[in-house]
């Protein structure tokens, strides 16, 4: 009777955690954007030459110059285009040039030269670079072919991206920063300039996102649509940067996590000119003045729910692993460097920070699963180049099982069957790379995305700092992972077998009753039961 009550209590606690996690994931940011009024050349001339400070509240930005063209024949295009310099219009008095025949000539503003300097932009299909205007109709200049005065740092864009896509937790050793690397200039022109749905090819394991800056040029259409989430909860954000001649010129931008699917809809008039940047997470040198944290993990609803759960003797009294399918994919590239947790994105970072702030031990692992003919499951010990063949060695019987066991460590408490999953994997991620959208923005063979999981180790009730035998159970809190493990080992030493037996019993009873305990919650599944 008492144990079934405890089970009911536990089920309700786990269900609370699941619901909070679902809300946290659902509300998480995956794309951000903004706009900055842009001065015209005329405004800029009127401000004190050389003294105008772009950092002044980032309220406006100076006209953007693009320099391009062959050596010795370079051109400069200044955006927004000065209305007195609209191509095809006879120039006004101040700008007119009078030809030898005495006729007033139209002044070139450089736009048509820029369009002519661009070459068709391709995209990656597997390792091939493909030109297919039905999929992508755009022009491009590589970084070697142009220079610009625009800097996303000066305008405050990178500050915002940092705070919204990679916030600091305020932890002393959290020194994540964002670095933007200029990648291309693109022109999507009417009629029918577009780029159909794709996921940007990661340019390295620390790439977290992409930034698109739309320059102030008149156009209509060409909305950027960014999507994220699973089949049931797909979220979409639309950035419409259409500009007309009657509006004040504005520079507009959007940044999104690079594993998010996105597309550029058809441009119906004018030219949509963009600068694209790859965004990388970096380790910065810290903050002399005590950097402000934009993410206070203790204020997160998930922190609160987990904290309440840990205080309850009904919640996993013998300790257990909680498993969370991460909501983003991560570049699966290198055998030597593990770029997580510093490159965690959106909700994944929030979940991680909430658990870490409670001193819980968290492990991030790539997880590949293929339910097709060659069905296999691989839980990696880190992110490394994925070699499909490795796990089908016929000599090695049961290789798949062994891999999972090896990583979870059969000798530790990490057997997969002991994992309680708090959410469902996204369906299209059940398989490795092959199931991902096969179009990237550049051809690539080596760098892929992989789905990943987070394992959170919930210590036994006694190791959580509670006196399980005393009348007044006191929650001492869990300060740091090291204090958890030292507390756990101290206790194990002082109470010898007694506590262990208690834990064992709880574990056993959890396992024995796992079906009734967790299976009727829709989202809780035992890994072993998959």
Ligand X SMILES: O=C(O)CCC(=O)C(=O)O
Chain residues that interact with Fe ion, rule: CB under 5 A: 200, 441
Q: Which residues neighbour 86 within 8 Å (Cβ) at sequence distance 6 or greater? A: 109
Shortest CB 147 distance to Fe ion, Å:
23
Q: What is the dihedral of CA 262, 267, 273, 276, to 10 degrees?
A: 10
Give yes or no for residue 195 binding ligand X (CB under 6 A): yes
Shortest CB 385 distance to ligand X, Å:
24
DSSP 3-state assignment of 324? Answer: strand
Paired strand residues for 44: none
Give yes or no for residue 441 binding ligand X (CB under 6 A): yes
Give yes or no for residue 259 binding ligand X (CB under 6 A): no
Q: Give just the sign of the alpha carbon dihedral 525, 527, 529, 530.
A: positive
Shortest CB 2 distance to ligand X, Å:
58
Shortest CB 262 distance to Fe ion, Å:
6
Looking at 224, 267, 297, 326, which residue binds ligand X (CB under 6 A)? 224
How many residues interact with ligand X (rule CB under 6 A)? 10
Q: What is the DSSP letter of 68?
A: E
Between 200 and 416, whose beta carbon lies closer to ligand X? Answer: 200
DSSP 3-state assignment of 495? Answer: helix
User: Which 203-222 residues touch ligand X, going by CB under 6 A?
Assistant: 212
Shortest CB 198 distance to Fe ion, Å:
6
Contact partner at residue 212 from ligand X, Fe ion, none, CB < 5 to 8 Å by partner kind: ligand X
Distance between CA atoms of residues 4 and 8, nearest Å: 6
Distance between CA atoms of residues 397 and 262, nearest Å: 42
For tokens 């000065």, the residue is 82
- Greatest C-alpha distance within the chain: 106
Give yes or no for residue 52 binding ligand X (CB under 6 A): no
- DSSP per-residue codes, 476-515: -----HHHHHHHHHHHHHHHTHHHHHHHHHHHHHHHHTHH
Per the CB < 8 A criterion, the answer to whether 236 and 227 are in contact is yes
Give yes or no for residue 267 binding ligand X (CB under 6 A): no
Distance between CA atoms of residues 77 and 97, nearest Å: 19
When CB distances to ligand X are compared, the closest residue is: 441
Give yes or no for residue 201 binding ligand X (CB under 6 A): no
Q: Give just the sign of the alpha carbon dihedral 78, 82, 86, 91.
A: negative
Looking at 243, 274, 278, 377, which residue binds ligand X (CB under 6 A)? 274
Contact partner at residue 281 from ligand X, Fe ion, none, CB < 5 to 8 Å by partner kind: none
User: Which 85-114 residues touch ligand X, going by CB under 6 A?
Assistant: none
Shortest CB 255 distance to ligand X, Å:
11
Shortest CB 121 distance to Fe ion, Å:
11
β-strand pairing of 193-198 with 136-137 = antiparallel
Which residue ranges make up the site for ligand X (CB under 6 A)? 186, 195, 200, 212, 224, 262, 264, 274, 276, 441
């Amino acid at each position: 009777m008492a144990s079934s009550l405890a089970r009911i209590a536990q089920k309700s606690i786990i269900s609370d955690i699941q619901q909070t996690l679902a809300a946290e994931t659902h509300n998480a940011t995956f794309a951000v954007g903004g706009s900055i009024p842009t001065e015209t050349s005329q405004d800029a001339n009127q401000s004190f030459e050389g003294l105008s400070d772009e950092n002044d509240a980032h309220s406006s930005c100076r006209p953007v110059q693009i320099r391009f063209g062959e050596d010795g024949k370079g051109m400069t295009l200044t955006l927004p285009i000065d209305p007195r310099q609209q191509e095809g219009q006879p120039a006004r008095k101040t700008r007119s040039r009078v030809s030898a025949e005495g006729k007033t000539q139209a002044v070139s503003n450089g736009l048509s030269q820029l369009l002519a300097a661009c070459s068709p932009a391709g995209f990656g299909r597997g390792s091939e670079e493909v030109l297919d205007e039905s999929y992508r109709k755009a022009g491009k200049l590589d970084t070697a072919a142009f220079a610009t005065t625009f800097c996303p740092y000066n305008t405050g864009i990178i500050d915002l991206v940092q705070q919204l896509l990679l916030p600091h937790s305020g932890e002393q050793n959290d020194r994540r920063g964002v670095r933007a690397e200029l990648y291309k200039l693109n022109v999507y022109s009417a009629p029918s300039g577009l780029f159909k749905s794709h996921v940007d090819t990661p340019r390295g394991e620390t790439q977290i996102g992409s930034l698109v800056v739309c320059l102030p040029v008149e156009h209509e259409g060409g909305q950027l649509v960014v999507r994220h989430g699973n089949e049931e909860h797909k979220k979409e954000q639309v950035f419409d940067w259409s500009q007309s001649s009657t509006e004040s010129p504005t520079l507009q931008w959007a940044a999104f996590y690079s594993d998010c699917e996105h597309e550029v809809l058809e441009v119906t008039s004018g030219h949509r000119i963009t600068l694209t940047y790859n965004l990388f997470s970096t380790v910065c040198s810290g903050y002399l003045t005590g950097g402000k944290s934009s993410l206070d993990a203790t204020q997160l609803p998930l922190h609160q729910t987990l904290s309440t759960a840990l205080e309850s003797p009904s919640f996993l009294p013998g300790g257990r692993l909680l498993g969370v399918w991460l909501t983003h994919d991560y570049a699966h590239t290198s055998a030597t460097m593990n770029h997580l947790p510093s490159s965690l994105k959106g909700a994944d970072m929030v979940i991680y920070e909430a658990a870490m702030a409670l001193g819980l031990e968290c492990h991030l692992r790539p997880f590949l699963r293929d339910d097709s003919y060659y069905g296999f499951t691989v839980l990696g010990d880190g992110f490394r180049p994925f070699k499909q063949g490795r796990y089908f060695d016929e000599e090695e019987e049961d290789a798949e099982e062994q891999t999972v066991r090896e990583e979870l460590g059969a000798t530790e408490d990490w057997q997969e069957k002991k994992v309680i999953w708090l959410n469902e994997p996204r369906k299209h991620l059940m398989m490795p790379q092959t199931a991902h959208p096969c179009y990237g923005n550049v051809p690539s063979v080596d760098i892929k995305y992989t789905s990943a999981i987070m394992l959170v180790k919930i210590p036994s009730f006694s190791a959580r700092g509670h006196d399980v035998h005393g009348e007044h159970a006191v929650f001492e809190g869990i300060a740091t992972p090291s204090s958890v493990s030292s507390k756990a080992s101290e206790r194990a030493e002082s109470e010898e077998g007694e506590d262990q037996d208690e834990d064992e019993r709880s574990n056993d009873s959890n396992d024995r009753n796992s079906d009734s305990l967790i299976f009727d919650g829709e989202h809780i599944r035992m890994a072993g039961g998959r």
